[in-house]
Structure 1
Amino acid sequence: MTNIEEQLENLASPGDMQKHLRGLAVLKQIGGENFGGPVSQLASFSEDLARFTIQFPYGDVLSRDGLDLRTRQILTAATLLAHGSAQSQLSFHLKGLLNAGGTSDDIVDLLFISAGLLGLPTAINAVPLVRDILTDRGEIENVTKTKASPAVSDMSSVGVAILDRFAPEFLKWREHTLHEEIFGAVHLEPRLTHLASAAMLAARGKVGASFDGHIVSALAAGATDRDIVEMVIQLSVYSGFPASLNAAGRAKNVLAASERPQVGTKKRVETTKDDERRFMRGIATLAETSGGSGADVVDSFKDVAPGLGRLIVAHCYGDIFCRPAINPKDRELGAISALAAQGTVAAEKPLGVHIDAALNLGATREEIVETLFNIIPYAGYPLIEKALLIAHDRISLFDDKRVDGSPS
């Protein structure tokens, strides 16, 4: 027994020794060689908190029967991706997914699912973490390039009818981009795909019809009622009891339905993934708005998730950012507003990118500052304080380049 293992064992009191040792055993499976390092450091701050960390997540929840450890790690990673600001914990549990029998494909699949359900900044931010983990393990070349197609639940017929009149492009993108390009790139078993999707949505606070749809899809793909219950219980650890209780209320209604909708194998629309015209339009829009290179964007993902970089160019710039109803500068100010309001670590780098793009398109310091001021009532002062400091740095760099005569 190492000194750290002995230290962690000694945190237990006689009354909770069994649960404590059970938690340590699961923590060791997930954490691997350095399983005790983070908790040992935590104990130097608070032994009580270190003991709770061993006993509640690992001794009470992750050690429960009902889900295997790989599935639990997939759910944990999905929840931490939705958190958006738990990078060190995400890295630990992505490694833990591999230690629990998961694969590099499992990890990349979670990136694609998060891109569709949580937005591209979440997936993009996680790519360097994934790259480091797979490189350290010599698995960077083992990411599978073939695609599978888990069925995705349809919207209600009422919702489809409304959107077909109000925003028909959304329905087209939902079919082509979300169903075909994102979920069509996922290798996870459909049951796990939908359990992970439901966990992401619940953790982000989006417990609604989409959450219900993924519960229905998970059941149709072979998930049991207990699988759903265990997923919701695990949310209490990594997303807190409010998210878990909200999800429990929605899931209970789905499970109690007298007739559960069946989600069969959906016949996919024959489309050309990332068709060249759309991709080239994205390259042109990217160059016009931010001065960026589409090839550079694609290349930055090619070792981990090659389809993700191409998706960014084709969908974000080739489908959406090129649309004429909003002028390019105002579109960038809108992106700044959305990213600042998210306030996550995952949104910080994209916020800087879109501030740069707004400046390149002629936005003034005052316009960017006023855009951020406008969000204070909706996001609160701490988030906008952080966004203003990022804006200050990007505007200062932009001004310095202009003074130096460098291209902006």
Structure 2
Amino acid sequence: MNNAPETATTNAQDNRYERGLAVLRQVAGTDRPAVLESLADIAPDLARYTVEFGYGDIYSRPGLTLRQRQLANVAALAAIGNAAPQLRFHLAGALNVGCTRREIVETLIHVCVYAGFPAALNGLTAAREVFEAHPAAAEATPDEVSAPAPAETTAERYRRGLAALTEIDGHAGEQVIASLRDIAPDLGRYVLEFAFGDVYSRTGLDLKTRELATVALCTALGTAAPQLAVHIHALLNVGGTEEEVVETITQMVGYAGFPAALNGITVARAVFAERAAAERAAADSAA
């Protein structure tokens, strides 16, 4: 009997496993990742799926760096708020692949806009534990420490927020603010003053990384399709690519499940089509 197809399948699985194990070791910072041993006595197949699929298939894809993937995971896991052990693992993983403590803290502060202060505070508590366990990696340099913000007027925060909203979200963001004028104008003002004037305007993360994190967490939350559409537009507006959008959403399969990722891709498809139609219209008008 010719068993070549079976052998080829086995080799492919072995390649996926070895490829995934190499990436997992890099993220975990050890040759013996704890997830393998912790599942060995109860669900060894789940450990294998984690390595083969999570790291061999997903993490090994081109399109995002390991640093981007780790910050996306930190944002998503902090936002969904029900996976503290995994959040701690990926906080440490972020340090292991070269993210700074400042980038991690800024990502967790950013989460408060979309998942609330409790999610951000719990994420920062987990980060404190991880930093204490990794003192060398977590040590801050002077330029990583934020100076206290000077006293500002509300008008100054509003103007800075409006400028940031225009740069990041463009027309989509302006529509969100306009939609609140007849029912909750103060909420629209808070979006500008706090979300964009205070949080988005902070240093420590560039706008593209903030939008990658926002796309990841809005996908993982699964309850924010309109906001996900706005921030897919925003990611593209600040230099992201369609490939990076798709990769960020695909990454969420492992952390929020296939339904969340599939719904996210549906939103992305609509955004891409809308932007393509706008580009065609602009080209036709120019011609």
Q: Normalising by the residue count of structure 2, what TM-score does the alignment of the two structures yield?
A: 0.80
**After superposition, what is the alpha-carbon deviation per residue over 1:164-214, rounded to whole angstroms, capped at 9, x for unaligned?**
222121111111111111222252121111111011111111342211111
Residue 235 of structure 2: which of 208, 218, 243 is its match? Answer: 218
Runs of 4+ that moved beyond 6 A: 147-150
Q: Provide closer, same or farther for how the CA distance between residues 135 and 112 of structure 1 changes in structure 2, counting only shifts above 3 A.
A: same
Q: Matched residues in 2 for 1:40 and 1:17: separation?
A: 19
Structure 2 equivalent of residue 96 of structure 1: 93
Q: Matched residues in 2 for 1:230 and 1:193: separation?
A: 15
Check the 8 A contact 2:23/2:56 in 1, yes or no: yes
1:156 is displaced (CA, Å) by: 5.5
Structure 2 equivalent of residue 153 of structure 1: 169
Residue 191 of structure 2: which of 158, 174, 188 is its match? Answer: 174
Residue 48 of structure 2: which of 47, 51, 70 is its match? Answer: 51
Q: Matched residues in 2 for 1:140 and 1:224: separation?
A: 33
Q: Matched residues in 2 for 1:221 and 1:28: separation?
A: 32
The one-letter code of the counterpart of 1:259 is A
* Match status 1:82 vs 2:71: no
Higher-RCO chain (CA-CA 8 Å, sequence separation at least 6): 2
Check the 8 A contact 1:207/1:250 in 2, yes or no: no
Q: Provide the secondary structure at the position in 2 that maps to 1:33.
A: coil
Structure 2 equivalent of residue 403 of structure 1: none
Q: Matched residues in 2 for 1:184 and 1:112: separation?
A: 12
Check the 8 A contact 1:112/1:185 in 2, yes or no: no
Check the 8 A contact 2:20/2:51 in 1, yes or no: yes
Unmatched runs of 5 consecutive residues or more in structure 2: 1-8, 150-159, 280-287
Q: Provide the secondary structure at the position in 1 that maps to 2:27.
A: helix
Q: Provide closer, same or farther for how the CA distance between residues 163 and 62 of structure 1 changes in structure 2, counting only shifts above 3 A.
A: same
Superposed, which structure 2 residues align to 1:5-404 within 5 Å? 14-33=11-30, 35-138=32-135, 139-142=138-141, 143-145=144-146, 151-153=167-169, 155=172, 159-257=176-274, 258-259=277-278
Q: Provide the secondary structure at the position in 2 that maps to 1:145.
A: coil
1:83 is displaced (CA, Å) by: 2.0
Please provide the CA RMSD for this pair: 2.3
Check the 8 A contact 1:112/1:186 in 2, yes or no: no
Q: Provide closer, same or farther for how the CA distance between residues 99 and 157 of structure 1 changes in structure 2, counting only shifts above 3 A.
A: closer
1:144 is displaced (CA, Å) by: 2.8
Q: Provide closer, same or farther for how the CA distance between residues 68 and 119 of structure 1 changes in structure 2, counting only shifts above 3 A.
A: same
1:161 is displaced (CA, Å) by: 3.6
- Answer 1 or 2: which has greater helix percent: 2
Q: Normalising by the residue count of structure 1, what TM-score does the alignment of the two structures yield?
A: 0.57
What is the percentage of aligned positions where both structures have the same residue? Answer: 31
**After superposition, what is the alpha-carbon deviation per residue over 1:321-368, rounded to whole angstroms, capped at 9, x for unaligned?**
xxxxxxxxxxxxxxxxxxxxxxxxxxxxxxxxxxxxxxxxxxxxxxxx
1:70 is displaced (CA, Å) by: 0.5
Figure out how many residues of one structure are paired with residues of the other and give that number.
249
Q: Provide closer, same or farther for how the CA distance between residues 14 and 68 of structure 1 changes in structure 2, counting only shifts above 3 A.
A: same
Q: Provide closer, same or farther for how the CA distance between residues 242 and 180 of structure 1 changes in structure 2, counting only shifts above 3 A.
A: same
Q: Matched residues in 2 for 1:163 and 1:145: separation?
A: 33
